[in-house]
Structure 1
Amino acid sequence: MQKTFLIEGMDCADCARHVEEGVQKLPGVQFARVDFATAQLVLEGEVDEASLQQRVQALGYRLKDEQTPIPEKAESFWLGLGRYLLSEGETRLALLGGAFLLISAGLRFFAGMSNLALGLQLVALGLAGYPIARSALANLFINRSISINLLMTLAAIGAVIIGESGEAATLIFLFALAEALEGYSTDRARRTLSGLQNLTPTHALRLDNDGEHWVPVQSLLPGDRVRVRPGERIPADGVVHSGASDVNQAPITGESLPVLKQPGDAVFAGTVNGNGALDIQVTRLAKDSTLARIVQMVTEAQGRRARLQRWIDRFAAVYTPAVVGIAFLVAVIPPLFFHQPFWNTPEGHGWLYRALALLVIACPCALVISAPVTILSGLTAAARQGVLIKGGVYLETLAQVKRVAFDKTGTLTLGKPVLTDHRAVDCPGCEDRSACPACRDVLALAAALERASAHPLAHAVVSASQAQGVHQRYPTAQNLTTLNGGGIQGWIEQDVVTLGSHMLFEKQFPHSAELCAQVKTLEQTGETTMLLSQNGEVRGYLAVADEIRPESRQVVDDLHRLGIRTVILTGDHPAAAQRVARQLGVDEIRAGLLPEQKLQAVEELARADGTLAMLGDGINDTPALSAAQVGIAVGGASNAQAMETADVVLLGGDLSKLPYILRLARFVMRIIYQNVAFSLGIKALFLVLAMLDATTLWMAVLADMGGSLLVIFNGLRPLRFPQGTLHPNG
């Protein structure tokens, strides 16, 4: 059985690793994973909860089985920090120790008070250092591993031994304070994701037989009806039963403008109702809502770590023990072999002190935290824009994409044919067909035939007739007959009217060479043509084509500016693919592909270019999406299959999010590399300073923890990454 718990007090990724190792050793535990970014422990197996709580507390952390409530209003950083420091037992001890340390510093100015000052320093060291030493020893005995806390404990003990008790107390106080700062900053990063879940209201106004009742959202069942008043958040996924209103769907789909919702339209939990009241029939339980699934999937995505993050974790696992060994050699080799001082002297610090400084400097806090906070920020930023990315590994892969393959129908196009042209034989040659009486009459006759059909082409004709105001000129055709060869025939008033393919008319309805040439020209550009006859006389033609998404051209241009090549993979006719490619400027076309051929094309392109992203609708493109290094589904908010199978989901179906996530992924990886370089660079600098006796223990801890805080703040930058307009340099 799998259970999930919240771990409190983890302020670095190394902490998460130690908790995971310690819990894994409990009897009955089959599997344990601790994700630092979300502070969650996922546990499989049968284990007594009291034993689990005891183990986690022994390692220096706390266990909860529920998420800590997120404040209704965002508070300032410093106010929140003060509240955080006073709420934690360890930090209260550290603050008390800091007060004793400050008093001891003041006593140095009074003669004869040195012993009292020393006593206060030791008390300060004990108060601030007790939680650190307890966690260090527990981890050493339970996990048989060396933690950051142990490095600090050893450094403090060594400082006391060499007579630097004041510096030891300062070291531990600053370390405890910096750990609290780091923990609070990380907690704020975690809240950005948890805050998405809090978009759903806690109660809903349910409509029962005996009236309206406020009930907890968790109690709503499929089939229940709820009323959402203007300005309120929608409490559950459902469909509009009655009413009409504009709904702000930005939390789910990232759409910047509200969407009009009418009876029969789907709505999502957490979205905001506009000016009209809506009665909604619930279709999903609260725990299964689209918003809840998004939050759950982004949370689970933390387990799919980027390759760079996995390397950092492996490096940190061997780095800390290696540092202890190096510090030991630094302490003993110069005194033993080069007659250097082991203890401090009036001329400077001995090599034991320098080794202690090395222990402090070498703590891998900044390094191990460089990736998870940044990746969490990137995943959350994408989710806010209506893009679900299922793990850091896919963010890393998106940053490396060299080519994007598009399915055509429903991806670059809307998948909804529209009337592109219609012309009567006796048209005088006007440019505006909607102003020509003869052309309008051809459209009206065709609409009367197609009105009773559910075919997509019929819908395109009827919609165009409605737009031009001719849809009621003729009554709906009677005695409809489907013709072999592609066409329909029916009676409109006293006339027999036929609408069919060019091939059908070539055989049964003679027409002029001029009309034939016009139709063939349209067909060569990828448009579907239909000819119309009335009582055997050819009246004209209509042309229909799939409508290109308004944003497709800009998306392709943006990809090219990012240095990414584009290709269309489609089962459609080559002429239709060529028409779309010409309008969009796509680099390559592969048309007329069967599903297995599309799969082969994806595999071939991936081998040729290295990293390929495939974009499709997430349903019939599933094999091709799976074969690409990154499969991206368009429009997954209402498509459970797309949300489950694709690596990345554009929830609102907005293609303009594609360049955004590619730029976001590159930005995230740049920040991670910056953080890694900075973390290693500052350590290298202070290691040199320590060897040259140019730094102190308290300066070392400030450098290490200050670096960790800078890494965290830098890692939060993706949360403010703008969608914006792509600059030529990407």
Structure 2
Amino acid sequence: MTFTRFVLSKRETTLTVVAGLLTLLGLAVVYSFPTWGGLGGMALFAAAIAVGGFPVARHAFRELWLSRSLGINTLMVVAVVGAAIIGEWAEAAIVVVLFSLGEALEEYSAERVHGALEGLLDLAPPVALEILPTGESRETPVERLAVGDRVLVRPGDRVSVDGVVRAGQSAVDQAPITGESIPVEKKPGDEVFAGTINTSGALEVEVTRLAADNTLSRMVVLVQEAQLRQAPVQRFIDRFARVYTPAVTGAAALVAVVPPLLFGQPFWGEQGWLMRALQMLVIACPCALVISTPVSLVSAMTNAASRGVLIKGGRYLEALSRVRAFAFDKTGTLTEGRPVVTDVVDVCTCGECPEDCGLQHAASVEAQSSHPLARALLAEAEARGIAVPGAQDVTLLSGRGIKGTVNGANVTIASHAHFDEYVPHEPSVCRQADELAAQGKTVILVQHDDEVCALFGVADTPRASSRQALAALRARGIHTVMLTGDSPTVAEEIGRHVGIDEVRARLLPEEKVSAVAALAEEYQIVAMVGDGVNDAPALAQADVGIAMGGAGSAQAMETADVVLMSDDLAQLPFIVQLSRQARRTVTVNIAFALGAKVVVFALVAAGLATLWMAIVADVGATLAVIVNGMRLRR
């Protein structure tokens, strides 16, 4: 919405426009008709004060009567009435118009930020193509869809619901939710989110969340709640303003009375001390000071939300700007969180087995297991296009391995540490296994009848974004630490690969909490990054708890202070940089707001300022801090 449309859509701002036109007309009459224009101008100025000042007077009454406090509106009413009493009708009217214009600018900036947030909800279509039991489809409002219903998402359409793909394959642009710049391939079993864009093939999606509880809706609710959680500097400014306004009112009364009584100075007139006291009231109006912090913090949080990062309050944004250490969980945070086969070593010496026979036999037996390592072997066989025959007589070996029969041959699969219990093997195989283990990999051996035919190295691989993100944090002077329950060998290898500063391994959940507390003693402000589920105690211990993958986890969105909607660690340097920019902007805004008042106070003391100059300075300072704060939205 443009500022003009905003002004005309509100009753109070429309009154401000009318008051402004009356004031301009009054000035024209006064300067065009010197002989009789004074009386006509005064009537027009009085009308402008009545029209534009009505909302201000109403707010002042509420401040005094309901809140029992002296606020900004009360200061303005006193200044306007005082100016009118001493005959400065033109200045009184100008004060009303400029003050109301400043208030309108504040409200407009808040609506712009709020509108950007509400715009997220508009990303999700209001209707969906529901698939009926007959196979036909019809348009249905998303509010009427129930969990378990199915909808059709055509190529080029926005996804209307949170759900799971049941049929079809496509690439989905998830940038509105997760901030990911590259569309993500989706196949049956994958999650999709309302507001994302289906770029290619048609998808049949089963609804998993109601419209009121989808990811977009939860994002908006969380950011709206975050805006109510004030940062420490914001709470200080609000407390300061509550004391400041009555103090300034009392000081202005003394300025008006003391010099005339004690020193015989003039009380009335343009250079009288009453006028200076009124100027002081106008200058002292803390509009710019009060708005300087919230406009900056809310703009920054809205910017982050548009990029797939939810910051749940100004205090967390402020804390992020002062973080000196980041602690990371390993599994699922620095790494992908799922094992993959990194090495396939053929050690068969019979000369009769085809290439990849060891992987084929292993995948055949592991096909009947749900163990993560089994899934890794099956995925590797599928990636290599290996046919997997069925296995018979499959038996688990007490948590140490698995065995079965493939094409009449006995096949045993176990970790290297347990393999000698079933099949003794050559020292050369042990050496190769030890080399892989030294790299932090889990080593699996497969035996075909009486001979070891292959060994596999399996590891949880680092995320592609980990190394770059950690380097960017280090460049910003932040110490990085891995906290993991894994073995030192595995942890050190992952740490070396991603370039982390410090590794602490074999930690129980309660020891992670103690580790975060110890880091806080050394580095003062600490952030902890995890999945928001297993790391909940450590996230709570940190000054800022950051959960990853919030788009697919309601628990992560509820437990953490900051939520990365995607699994992209590259968002961490972004939010650190954004928080530091927000802190600098708040500092500049406060300094400018106070500095402008000091300068104009000096002009008032010297008798060089007029009442309208004072209000221009106040409105100008307010507008400047609003514009400066709203730059953080970009």
TM-score, structure 1 normalization: 0.83
Q: Say whether the 8 Å CA contact 1:452–1:476 is kept in structure 2.
A: no
Shift of 1:312: 0.8
Indicate the percent of aligned positions where both proteins have the same amino acid.
50
Number of the residue aligned with 2:33: 110
Number of the residue aligned with 2:590: 676
DSSP-derived class of the 2:420 partner? helix
Number of the residue aligned with 2:154: 229
Q: Aligned partners of 1:437 and 1:163: how far apart in 2? A: 108
Number of the residue aligned with 2:200: 275
Note if 1:574 corresponds to 2:499.
no
1:36-185 → structure 2 map (5 Å cutoff): 75=1, 80-107=2-29, 108-113=31-36, 114-185=38-109
Shift of 1:438: 7.0
Shift of 1:611: 1.1
Number of the residue aligned with 1:261: 186
Summarize deviations over 1:152-196 as a string: whole Å, max 9, x none. 111111112222111111221222223223322322122111111
Q: CA 1:316 to 1:327, structure 2 compared with 1: closer, same or farther past 3 Å? A: same
Q: CA 1:209 to 1:448, structure 2 compared with 1: closer, same or farther past 3 Å? A: closer
Summarize deviations over 1:48-80 as a string: whole Å, max 9, x none. xxxxxxxxxxxxxxxxxxxxxxxxxxx5xxxx2
Number of the residue aligned with 1:378: 300
Q: CA 1:538 to 1:285, structure 2 compared with 1: closer, same or farther past 3 Å? A: closer
DSSP-derived class of the 2:356 partner? helix
Number of the residue aligned with 2:337: 415
DSSP-derived class of the 2:245 partner? helix
Q: Aligned partners of 1:228 and 1:439: how far apart in 2? A: 43
Note if 1:332 corresponds to 2:257.
yes
Number of the residue aligned with 2:322: 400
Number of the residue aligned with 2:122: 198
Q: Say whether the 8 Å CA contact 1:485–1:501 is kept in structure 2.
A: no
Determine which of 534, 553, 561 is the counterpart of 1:647.
561
Shift of 1:634: 1.1
DSSP-derived class of the 2:228 partner? coil
Number of the residue aligned with 1:665: 579
Determine which of 469, 481, 496 is the counterpart of 2:395.
481
Number of the residue aligned with 1:368: 290
Q: Which consecutive residues of structure 2, in runs of 5 or more, have no partner in the other structure? A: none
Shift of 1:323: 0.9
DSSP-derived class of the 1:401 partner? coil
Q: Aligned partners of 1:464 and 1:226: how far apart in 2? A: 33
Shift of 1:622: 1.1
- Tell me how large the CA RMSD over aligned residues is: 2.1
Q: Match of 2:320, as an amino acid?
A: L
Bigger shift: residues 694-703 or 336-345: 336-345
Q: Say whether the 8 Å CA contact 2:268–2:274 is kept in structure 1.
A: yes
Bigger shift: residues 688-697 or 267-276: 267-276
Q: Aligned partners of 1:687 and 1:582: how far apart in 2? A: 60
Number of the residue aligned with 1:724: none
Number of the residue aligned with 1:31: none
Number of the residue aligned with 2:456: 542
Number of the residue aligned with 2:248: 323
Shift of 1:410: 0.9
Q: Aligned partners of 2:259 and 2:349: how far apart in 1? A: 101
Q: Aligned partners of 2:142 and 2:567: how far apart in 1? A: 28
Q: Aligned partners of 1:655 and 1:231: how far apart in 2? A: 29
Q: Match of 1:465, as an amino acid?
A: A
Q: CA 1:563 to 1:116, structure 2 compared with 1: closer, same or farther past 3 Å? A: same
Q: Say whether the 8 Å CA contact 1:525–1:578 is kept in structure 2.
A: no
Number of the residue aligned with 2:620: 706
Shift of 1:639: 1.1
Determine which of 104, 111, 116 is the counterpart of 1:187.
111
Shift of 1:657: 1.0
Number of the residue aligned with 2:426: 512
Shift of 1:476: 3.0
Q: Which consecutive residues of structure 1, in runs of 5 or more, have no partner in the other structure? A: 1-74, 429-435, 721-730
1:405-444 → structure 2 map (5 Å cutoff): 405-425=327-347, 440-444=356-360
Q: Aligned partners of 1:181 and 1:566: how far apart in 2? A: 43
Q: Match of 1:393, as an amino acid?
A: R
Q: Say whether the 8 Å CA contact 2:175–2:181 is kept in structure 1.
A: yes
Summarize deviations over 1:281-327 as a string: whole Å, max 9, x none. 22222111111111011111122211111111111111111110111
Q: Say whether the 8 Å CA contact 1:500–1:531 is kept in structure 2.
A: yes
1:466-505 → structure 2 map (5 Å cutoff): 466-469=382-385, 471-472=386-387, 475-484=389-398, 486-505=400-419
Q: CA 1:533 to 1:96, structure 2 compared with 1: closer, same or farther past 3 Å? A: closer
Number of the residue aligned with 2:518: 604
Q: Aligned partners of 2:372 and 2:193: how far apart in 1? A: 28
Higher RCO, 1 vs 2 (CA within 8 Å, ≥6 residues apart): 2
Summarize deviations over 1:550-594 as a string: whole Å, max 9, x none. 111111111111111111111111110011011112111111111
DSSP-derived class of the 2:32 partner? coil
Q: Say whether the 8 Å CA contact 2:403–2:411 is kept in structure 1.
A: yes
Q: Aligned partners of 1:638 and 1:516: how far apart in 2? A: 42
Q: Aligned partners of 1:687 and 1:375: how far apart in 2? A: 29
Shift of 1:680: 0.9
Q: Match of 2:72, as an amino acid?
A: I
DSSP-derived class of the 1:423 partner? strand
Shift of 1:661: 1.1
Q: Aligned partners of 2:547 and 2:106: how far apart in 1? A: 37
Number of the residue aligned with 2:376: 460
Q: Say whether the 8 Å CA contact 2:348–2:452 is kept in structure 1.
A: no
Note if 1:687 corresponds to 2:611.
no
Summarize deviations over 1:605-632 as a string: whole Å, max 9, x none. 2222211111111111111111111111
Q: Say whether the 8 Å CA contact 1:239–1:263 is kept in structure 2.
A: yes
Q: Aligned partners of 1:535 and 1:85: how far apart in 2? A: 85
Bigger shift: residues 351-360 or 111-120: 111-120
Q: Match of 2:374, as an amino acid?
A: A
Q: CA 1:485 to 1:453, structure 2 compared with 1: closer, same or farther past 3 Å? A: closer
Number of the residue aligned with 1:35: none
Q: Aligned partners of 1:484 and 1:166: how far apart in 2? A: 93
Shift of 1:713: 1.3
Between the two proteins, the alignment pairs up a number of residues equal to 630
DSSP-derived class of the 1:302 partner? helix
TM-score, structure 2 normalization: 0.95
Summarize deviations over 1:75-121 as a string: whole Å, max 9, x none. 5xxxx222222232233333223223222222233242122222222
DSSP-derived class of the 1:404 partner? strand
DSSP-derived class of the 2:152 partner? strand
Shift of 1:641: 1.2
Q: Aligned partners of 1:376 and 1:550: how far apart in 2? A: 31
Summarize deviations over 1:216-253 as a string: whole Å, max 9, x none. 22222222222333322222212223333322211211
Q: Say whether the 8 Å CA contact 1:424–1:438 is kept in structure 2.
A: no
Shift of 1:439: 6.2
Summarize deviations over 1:185-209 as a string: whole Å, max 9, x none. 3221221111112222222233335
